[in-house]
Amino acid sequence: MSAHYPALLVIIPLLASFFISAAGWLRPPWCFPLALTAMGGSLLVSIGLLADVIRGIPDLYWFGGWAPPWGIYYRVDHLNALVLVVISGVGFVNLWAARPTVDRELPEKAGAFYTLYVLFVTGLLGMVVTGDAFNLYVLLEIAAITGYALIALGKGRAPLASLNYIFMGTIGACFYLLGVGYLYIVTGSLNMQDIARLLAPLHGSRVVTVAFVIMMVGVWLKMGFFPLHAWLPNAYTYAPSPVSSLVAPLMTKVMVYVMIRMVMTVFTVDYAFGVLVLNEAVVWLAVIAIVAGSLMALAEKDFKRMLTFIVVAEVGYMVGGFWLGNRSGFTGSVLHIVNDALMTLCLFLAAGSIIHARGESRIQSLQGLFSTMPWTMGALVVGAMSIIGVPPTCGFFSKWYLLLGAVEGGHYGFLAALLFSSLVNVVLFFRIFEIGYFEPMEASHGGASHGHAHGHEAPAMSEAPLGMLVPLWMTALGLIAVGFYTGEIVGRVIRHAIPATMF
């Protein structure tokens, strides 16, 4: 049975999405359970795949029974097995938290919402595990289109933000498609391994350089890498909270994975870091991304929008870490994909439950949160610790590898940017904790609590529903658990993913 895992990984959620869509019309109450089985199924399969990879069983899957350069094939190796588990894990946990909001805001269209939700995760899972460049484009588009629609559901400026996201996202996807076209016209094959083999003699030619540049620009645009990030803050802020806590942790991280996959498998590392002298410039771009992201987050008035700028800065971490070109940088970047997905999920879930209870996310309106919503704020503190980089949480360890990579690569600009961004994160989050801790709730603040002077007796606890708190705390504890398991993750999985030629 396990031989079929790579196929089952994508088929289970895909088939389930059709059933959910049909159930939306025939048996509406079945939608959520079906979505849950889909996510649960793909989570189990991805864990099975990770176990196979750790045991050293290579997972190659030929679709339609055709050999690679002719048919499409899936390849599960050390790099993407980890990302698979993260995606399906985040999808599964976030689905729990999505239910209260979905039941409240769009009860009639729950079927359609869960269909797009499951298709989004399917698109991401497929993108991570595929070995075919064009198939990656198709799955990229599935994730993109479902993402556009889900984001446009939000209130206020959501449709306009989603429209801008469509324009930038389509340009990015088309650049990627053009890059694949340029490689196809020169090599004649669409299979990643095959292209790499045929590309070796052509490394000097213009086409490969331009193909590389276009693909990178396309992927950076989709990932929201600093100069091309204009769509990200609005899209993730105005999206409904279950959507932003799904899209924010996953979309950018998977695109970072796609960048790493492209550079590692298709163009091969010694081309990217040897022939092309691009990586110095890219690391400096990442430095600008981190600094700019942190500063813009500092200037933000809205809590959720501040989180989106932190996501922009975190993308700078991953891209900069990878382009340092040494083993620690690579390990840090891949580990940061895992850690940052969890951290961003924890923060956006906390933001979601605050908005669910308070109705708005302006920073000024977060008064008295520690007394009214202690559990949510507790989880937010753990998430903040992880973003700042405090040891037991996982955020510290990926930052540790990134810093180590910067020191080994002698890139002190990147080191300074990382430290600067950590310090700015401290200021960002403690600004919110101060408001939540010191300022008492004003009178009649939407909640049932009454106003009072010095906050002596704590106002009534108006916590988010249990359905949102359990996943939030699962993520928070997950952050600490992953922190302690970093040794295992790096030792067993990431170390084998590093290409041999990387010094």
**Residue whose CB is less far from other proteins, 455 or 499:** 455
Least separation, in Å, of the C-beta of 48 and other proteins? 16
**According to CB under 8 A, which residues from 5 to 24 bind other proteins?**
7, 11, 14-15, 17-19, 21-22, 24
Among 170, 269, 288, 413, binds other proteins (CB under 8 A): 170
Dihedral angle computed from the Cα positions of residues 334, 501, 495 and 89, in that order, rounded to the nearest 10 degrees: 30
Among 49, 211, 219, 387, binds other proteins (CB under 8 A): 211
Site mask, other proteins, residues 181-200, x = CB under 8 A? Answer: xx-xxxxxxx-------x--
Site size for other proteins (CB under 8 A): 109
CB neighbour list of residue 10: distance below 8 Å, 6 or more residues apart: 42, 122, 125, 126, 129
CB neighbour list of residue 249: distance below 8 Å, 6 or more residues apart: 90, 94, 340, 341, 342, 344, 345, 348
19 closest CA partner among 109, 106, 103, 114: 114
Among 177, 246, 285, 349, binds other proteins (CB under 8 A): 177
Least separation, in Å, of the C-beta of 385 and other proteins? 7
Instruction: Round to whole Å and give the CA distance between 198 and 217.
Output: 23
Instruction: Round to whole Å and give the CA distance between 54 and 67.
Output: 25
Among 230, 451, 491, 496, binds other proteins (CB under 8 A): 491
**According to CB under 8 A, which residues from 109 to 168 bind other proteins?**
109, 112-113, 115-116, 119, 122, 126, 132, 134-135, 138-139, 141-142, 144-146, 148-149, 152-153, 157, 159-160, 162-163, 166-167
Two tokens, residue 269: 């590392």
DSSP helix/strand/coil, 191: strand
Instruction: Round to whole Å and give the CA distance between 478 and 456.
Output: 34
Site mask, other proteins, residues 367-406, x = CB under 8 A? Answer: ------------------x--xxxxx----x--x--xx--
Q: Are 190 and 184 in contact (CB under 8 A)?
A: yes
Site mask, other proteins, residues 453-472, x = CB under 8 A? Answer: -xxxx---------------
Two tokens, residue 369: 């949160």
**According to CB under 8 A, which residues from 403 to 432 bind other proteins?**
403-404, 407-408, 415, 419, 422-423, 426, 430
Q: Which amino acid is at 445?
A: H
Q: Are 162 and 148 in contact (CB under 8 A)?
A: yes
**Residue whose CB is less far from other proteins, 26 or 277:** 26
Among 55, 58, 108, 201, binds other proteins (CB under 8 A): 108
Asked whether position 25 contacts other proteins by CB under 8 A, the answer is yes
CB neighbour list of residue 213: distance below 8 Å, 6 or more residues apart: none
For residue 61, give the DSSP letter.
E
Asked whether position 473 contacts other proteins by CB under 8 A, the answer is no
SS3 content of the chain, % helix, strand, coil (to 5): 80, 5, 20
Segment near other proteins (CB under 8 A); pick from 48-56, 58-66, 266-274, 338-346: 58-66
